[in-house]
Structure 1
């Protein structure tokens, strides 16, 4: 942090002392920084839009999955490019409620996707339940994948 403060102070001194030389360089640097920021924002919005086109469904299905993994996950890639990586958290809600009943702590399972998922294809897997707050049964809850993070092939 000290180095940053020294750099800003030096830049201000040069700008005040030699404005004819420092101002064009400063404007060029600001323009370059603005272009990089615009590119990063565009990339982020593009990935967000692609993640919104993924269909992720979670159902409590102990009859279709093994005993330790009763959540049935179905991911459908509705994009025109392959999904390379996907991570998410599972939230549990009582019907009609908006309070997350899944406890998020360091011992909670971390969920990762299928690796490469081709366009217009599906992937299915069984997942373990996240730790739930006391007094709630999983068969009475709705499960959702939240905080999706992923990358796509370009």
Structure 2
């Protein structure tokens, strides 16, 4: 923090004392920082669009999955590039409600994707149930994947 303040004060002194030399350098640095910022925003938006093209359906299906992992996940990659990594949290909602009934404790399960999922491919797996608030049964809830974080190969 101290070094940053010192650099800004030094830059202002140089800009006031030698404006003919410091102004072109400052403009070039500002343009460079602007280009880097535009590039970072573009990459972030591209990743958000790619994550939006993933289709994840989570259903409570104890008849198709083992007892310790009763949630059935079906994921399809609607992108034209392979998915390399994916992490998410599972939220549980009562039908028509907006309150998340899954408790996101430190000991809650961590959900990860298949590793590499090719473009247009489908992946199915069974997942453990997140801890639910007392008084709710999983068969009466809707489950959704939220807080998706992932990366795609180019």
The TM-score, its normalising length taken from structure 2, stands at 0.99
The CA deviation at 1:135 is: 0.6
The CA deviation at 1:137 is: 0.5
For 2:138, the equivalent position in structure 1 comes to 138
Aligned partner of residue 103 in structure 1, secondary structure: coil
For 2:33, the equivalent position in structure 1 comes to 33
Where does the alignment leave 5 or more consecutive residues of structure 1 unmatched? none
Structure 2 Cα separation of the partners of residues 105 and 10 of structure 1: 47
The CA deviation at 1:126 is: 0.4
Q: Which runs of 4+ in 1 moved over 4 A?
A: none
* Alignment of 1:52 onto 2:52: yes
Structure 1 Cα separation of the partners of residues 11 and 41 of structure 2: 27
The CA deviation at 1:53 is: 0.5
| CA root-mean-square deviation | 0.5
For 1:101, the equivalent position in structure 2 comes to 101
For 2:153, the equivalent position in structure 1 comes to 153
Structure 2 Cα separation of the partners of residues 121 and 47 of structure 1: 18
Structure 2 Cα separation of the partners of residues 105 and 121 of structure 1: 32
For 2:63, the equivalent position in structure 1 comes to 63
For 1:123, the equivalent position in structure 2 comes to 123
The TM-score, its normalising length taken from structure 1, stands at 0.99
Where does the alignment leave 5 or more consecutive residues of structure 2 unmatched? none
Give the paired residue count: 154
Aligned partner of residue 89 in structure 1, secondary structure: strand
